[in-house]
């Protein structure tokens, strides 16, 4: 039965790749903008106050007037990671730590040409792993279609989540009602060496579309971007600053006061896309080579363009992005 499910998953991914527009390779340049010129209070950072925008505006310089969409708030902690590392690390819950791409849904109010996205690294202990400098990166763009709604996964307020870093009822919620249509993939950018910039913590990175990769976005539509490390290798990973309210005791909502950016939500793509992963709890992988290889394949990205055909989700393991928004800035040409 397990082998049959793997075959079905492979066929589904092949069908999705055939039905979706093939990713169009474009040019991508990734540069470090450094850290904020001033030290802000935790409140300024978390709530994205006018004081924070003034500090970011000074950092961005001539790009600041071209910011058309932004989410300023970020927790100064956590290890929300983009990674494509080898060898995979075993988690005693019963699976290999999954390689991961991260992204964000955003809403376009007025039409413009997308020129760049600015993201900030996080402040956690794995903000910038030692094998990350110089690795090739990509940015994928999607059109988001449909009407989002939150599925509480059978755990409304008062019941414990079935998975998550905490048992709060929101920690396994996910979004239904939307599809993510791939538009293009911009590649070719290399990660700057951030190791000398405070260990790579809280550094702003500009993901700049060039060479004709700039894209016209229609007003009144939702889009999403996703970033990742193109090829696997030892110690390849970095974190992204974000604000996550999955710990809130409030009922599920995408528009209440707990939702910090009403125009979208966080996204991820993990391994081969199976959620949740198969699990064989224990202090070490299964002794059966076939069983161990099955678990390993679930946590690795498939080769080539098959990776880009895997639909993003906000449901991961052991965390969700339903109530998470990256700190991000969308730049118009």
For the segment 139-176, what is each residue's pLDDT rounded down to a tens digit? 999 999 999 999 999 999 999 999 888 899 999 999 99
Residue 274 domain-assigned (yes or no): yes
Closest residue by Cα to residue 300 from 271, 275, 269, 276: 271
pTM: 0.91
Closest residue by Cα to residue 226 from 261, 192, 269: 269
Residue 42 domain-assigned (yes or no): yes
Is residue 12 scored above 80 in pLDDT?
Answer: no
Query: Residue with structure tokens 């052991």?
Result: 318
What band does 6 get if pLDDT is binned at 50, 70 and 90? very low
What ranges in 36-129 are assigned the alpha helix state H?
A: 42-47, 50-60
For the segment 262-318, what is each residue's pLDDT rounded down to a tens digit? 999 999 999 999 988 999 999 999 999 999 999 999 999 999 999 999 999 999 988
Sign of the dihedral defined by the CA atoms of residues 309, 81, 137, 91, in that order: negative
Residue 278 domain-assigned (yes or no): yes
Name the domain count of the chain: 1
Residue 8 domain-assigned (yes or no): no
Q: Write down the pLDDT at residue 118.
A: 98
Q: Is the peptide bond prior to 318 cis by the omega test (within 30 degrees of 0)? A: yes
Is residue 23 scored above 90 in pLDDT?
Answer: no
Residue 15 domain-assigned (yes or no): no
Residue 6 domain-assigned (yes or no): no
Question: Number of H helices and number of E strands within the chain?
Answer: 5, 19
Q: Are 144 and 222 in contact (CB under 8 A)?
A: yes
The residue range of the domain holding 135 is 25-332
For the segment 172-188, what is each residue's pLDDT rounded down to a tens digit? 999 999 999 999 999 98
Burial class of residue 299, CB neighbours in 10 A (0-12, 13-18, 19+): buried
Q: HSE, CB side, 13 Å, CA atoms: give it for residue 189.
A: 29
CA distances from 83 to 73, 176, 265, 295 (A): 23, 26, 20, 17
Q: Write down the pLDDT at residue 25.
A: 58
Q: Are 141 and 224 in contact (CB under 8 A)?
A: yes
Residue 13 domain-assigned (yes or no): no
Q: Are 23 and 305 in contact (CB under 8 A)?
A: yes
Query: Residue with structure tokens 């098959």?
Result: 306
Angle of CA points 116, 316, 293, to nearest 5°: 110
Residue 156 domain-assigned (yes or no): yes
């Amino acid at each position: 039965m397990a082998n049959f499910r793997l075959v079905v998953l492979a066929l589904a991914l092949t069908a999705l790749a055939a039905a979706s527009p093939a990713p169009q390779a474009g040019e991508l340049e990734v540069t470090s903008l450094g850290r904020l010129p001033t030290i802000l209070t935790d409140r300024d950072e978390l709530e994205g106050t006018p004081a924070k925008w003034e500090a970011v505006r000074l950092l961005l310089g001539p790009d600041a007037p071209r910011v058309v969409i932004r989410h300023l708030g970020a927790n100064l902690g956590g290890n929300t990671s983009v990674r494509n590392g080898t060898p995979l690390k075993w988690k005693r819950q019963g699976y290999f730590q999954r390689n991961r791409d991260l992204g964000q849904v955003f809403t376009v109010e007025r039409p413009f040409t997308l020129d760049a996205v600015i993201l900030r690294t996080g402040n956690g202990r794995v903000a910038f792993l030692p094998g990350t400098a110089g690795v090739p990166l990509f940015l994928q763009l999607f059109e988001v279609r449909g009407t989002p709604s939150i599925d509480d996964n059978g755990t409304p307020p008062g019941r414990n989540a079935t998975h998550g870093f905490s048992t709060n009822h929101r920690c396994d919620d996910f979004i239904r009602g939307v599809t993510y249509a791939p538009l293009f993939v911009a590649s070719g950018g290399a990660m700057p060496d951030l190791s000398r910039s405070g260990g790579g913590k809280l550094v702003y990175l500009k993901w700049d579309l060039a060479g004709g990769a700039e894209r016209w976005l229609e007003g009144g539509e939702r889009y999403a971007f996703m970033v990742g490390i193109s090829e696997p290798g030892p110690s390849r990973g970095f974190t992204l600053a974000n604000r996550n309210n999955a710990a809130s005791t409030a009922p599920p909502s995408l528009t209440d006061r707990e939702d910090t950016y009403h125009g979208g939500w966080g996204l991820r793509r993990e391994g081969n896309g199976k959620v949740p992963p198969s699990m064989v709890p224990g202090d070490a992988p299964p002794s059966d080579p076939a069983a161990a290889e099955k678990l390993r394949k679930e946590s690795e990205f498939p080769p080539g363009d098959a990776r880009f055909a895997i639909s993003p989700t906000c449901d991961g393991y052991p965390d969700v992005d339903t109530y998470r928004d990256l700190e991000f800035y969308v730049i118009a040409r």
